[in-house]
């Protein structure tokens, strides 16, 4: 699989600029720095309604929305063959629109990303979006940006509609009969940066989290996908890993599509493991507004780092979309690279996760050859097929005869 570098659409950047309300570059940068601290080092000090402040809203739209937008594009690219199949199935059935539900939508980041991606996938298709968030001001911005982007990229109104609902995820699931716009099943359900904020609101047991996931899966088409995207922080990532395990154990018929290439318990949260976590990373070309803010506050935002979990009900896994990975099992199967490539004197090593667990793979420089050369080009998140590695307890060694293929 070719690793892409993601861009932010200039049409949407222009739409966002209309909402800055005259905020100076310096003031915008200060608001970004403050929000960044709330999302990382000072999470405990973040107000519950941190986007009620107009400057904070402008900062979020200008700086954080673009990066979060492109994260969904990266996830969609990995599941693209399944999306193509879903859209084609929906159009051939009865001409019903392809339905997307964005829960905890905020200003509509995921809705906007899905709008552009799905329209490019099927310009003649019909799509309907539902955005749910407790903040009415955010939903107002969501509607504004949706209509602005739809107009600027030339999508006919009849091909892309939007409904919004002011509600929390708990309210949405507790009162489905009172929400006619949410009747019926959805093809895609997305929750981005929602799960970590649920935890910020107070402790939530794993069983309570599973209950929410079960409710969301009940609103998902059989061939649909439930997508959770979270920051690449240790605690929020490990929460997803624990959720992964609980879903497989407690929800009959649910399966993991990605990032895992297996349906077994996540080794990052195995008994006694309190430090490991898994996330992915993609190259990103930030828009000029983000670059300008970075120059003021001293950041460098040129990569997308995040954790994610894609759940389905039809048994499909990310390996099913690539024929070169099908039919393999055991230690000759496919692995997901869950670390950077670690380059040391005389060797290269990396941690890979697969059906058999999470292991370190090492290739001594003297054993580099045509068959295993691809190992030296791997990056975090790649899926790779390895045949003929030798077991050294927790360390697998690549020999001259080991075959490494990135897929």
Q: Per-residue pLDDT averaged across 296-301, rounded?
A: 85
Strands 303-312 and 280-285, by their bridges, are: antiparallel
**Do residues 155 and 81 share a domain?**
yes
Query: What is the per-residue pLDDT for 180?
Result: 67
CATH number at residue 372: 2.40.50.140
pLDDT, tens only, 274-284: 889 999 999 99
At residue 366, does pLDDT exceed 70?
Answer: yes
**Do residues 113 and 180 share a domain?**
yes
Give whole-number Cα distances, 190 to 115, 127, 178, 309, 357, in Å. 13, 15, 21, 10, 28
Asked whether residue 178 is assigned to any structural domain, the reply reads: yes
**Do residues 384 and 366 share a domain?**
yes
pLDDT, tens only, 56-108: 888 999 999 999 999 999 999 999 998 988 888 776 666 678 999 999 999 99
**Do residues 214 and 262 share a domain?**
yes
**Do residues 354 and 215 share a domain?**
no
Average pLDDT, whole number, for the chain?
Answer: 89
Which residue bears the tokens 């009969």?
A: 177
**Do residues 178 and 243 share a domain?**
yes
Final residue in a domain of this structure, among 321, 351, 381? 321
Asked whether residue 372 is assigned to any structural domain, the reply reads: yes
**Do residues 365 and 297 share a domain?**
no
Identify the weakest region by mean pLDDT among 73-82, 201-210, 282-291: 201-210
Helix (H), strand (E) at residue 76: helix 65-78
**Do residues 316 and 348 share a domain?**
no
For residues 256 and 316, what is the distance between their CA atoms, to the nearest angstrom?
A: 8
**Do residues 194 and 245 share a domain?**
yes
pLDDT, tens only, 154-190: 999 999 999 999 998 988 888 765 666 677 899 999 9
Query: What is the per-residue pLDDT for 269?
Result: 93
CATH number at residue 72: 3.40.50.150
Q: How many domains does the chain have?
A: 2
At residue 261, does pLDDT exceed 50?
Answer: yes
**Do residues 305 and 379 share a domain?**
no
Domain that residue 348 falls in: 328-406
Final residue in a domain of this structure, among 259, 289, 321? 321
Asked whether residue 1 is assigned to any structural domain, the reply reads: no
Asked whether residue 159 is assigned to any structural domain, the reply reads: yes
Tokens for 124, please give them: 């003649």
**Do residues 174 and 296 share a domain?**
yes
Asked whether residue 51 is assigned to any structural domain, the reply reads: yes
Kindly state the percentage of the chain with pLDDT values over 70.
92
Q: What secondary structure does DSSP assign to 13-72, as a single string?
A: HHHHHTTSTT--HHHHHHHHHHHHHHHTTTGGG--TTTT-SHHHHHHIIIIIHHHHHHHH
Final residue in a domain of this structure, among 302, 321, 340? 321
**Do residues 308 and 366 share a domain?**
no
Q: Classify the phi-psi angles of 184: left when phi > 0, otherwise alpha if psi is within -120 to 50, otherwise beta.
A: left
Q: Is 86 helix (H, G, I), strand (E, B) or coil?
A: helix
Asked whether residue 395 is assigned to any structural domain, the reply reads: yes
Whether this prediction's pTM lies above 0.75 is answered by yes
């Amino acid at each position: 699989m070719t690793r892409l570098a993601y861009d932010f659409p200039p049409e949407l950047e222009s739409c966002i600029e209309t909402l800055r309300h005259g905020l100076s570059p310096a003031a915008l940068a200060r608001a970004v720095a403050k929000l960044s601290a709330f999302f990382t080092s000072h999470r405990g000090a973040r107000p519950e309604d941190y986007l009620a402040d107009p400057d904070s809203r402008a900062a979020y739209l200008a700086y954080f929305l673009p990066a979060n937008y492109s994260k969904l594009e990266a996830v969609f690219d990995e599941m693209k063959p399944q999306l193509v199949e879903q859209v084609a199935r929906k159009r051939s059935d009865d001409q019903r629109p392809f339905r997307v539900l964005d829960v905890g939508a905020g200003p509509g980041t995921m809705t906007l990303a899905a709008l552009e991606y799905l329209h490019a996938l099927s310009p003649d298709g019909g799509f309907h979006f539902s955005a749910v968030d407790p903040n009415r001001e955010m939903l107002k911005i969501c509607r504004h940006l949706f209509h602005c982007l739809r107009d600027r990229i030339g999508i006919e109104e009849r091909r892309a509609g939007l409904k919004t609902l002011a509600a929390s995820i708990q309210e949405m699931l507790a009162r489905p009969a009172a929400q006619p716009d949410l009747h019926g099943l959805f093809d895609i359900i997305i929750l981005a940066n929602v799960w970590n904020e649920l935890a910020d609101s107070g402790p939530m047991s794993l069983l309570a989290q599973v209950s929410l996931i079960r409710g969301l899966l009940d609103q998902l088409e059989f061939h649909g996908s439930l997508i959770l995207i979270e920051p690449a922080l240790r605690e929020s990532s490990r929460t997803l890993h624990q959720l992964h395990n609980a879903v497989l154990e407690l929800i009959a018929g649910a399966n993991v599509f990605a990032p895992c290439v297996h349906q077994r318990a996540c080794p990052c949260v195995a008994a006694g493991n309190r430090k490991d976590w898994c996330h992915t990373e993609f190259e990103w070309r930030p828009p000029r507004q983000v670059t300008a803010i970075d120059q003021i506050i001293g950041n460098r935002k040129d990569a997308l780092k995040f954790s994610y979990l894609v759940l389905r009900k039809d048994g499909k896994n990310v390996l099913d979309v690539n024929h070169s990975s099908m039919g393999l099992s055991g230690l000759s199967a496919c692995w997901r690279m869950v670390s950077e490539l670690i380059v040391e004197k005389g060797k290269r090593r990396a941690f890979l996760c697969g059906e058999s667990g999470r292991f370190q793979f090492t290739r001594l420089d003297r054993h580099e050859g045509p068959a295993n050369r691809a190992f030296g080009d791997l990056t975090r998140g790649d899926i790779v097929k390895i045949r003929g590695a030798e077991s050294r307890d927790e360390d697998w060694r690549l020999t001259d005869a080991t075959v490494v293929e990135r897929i």
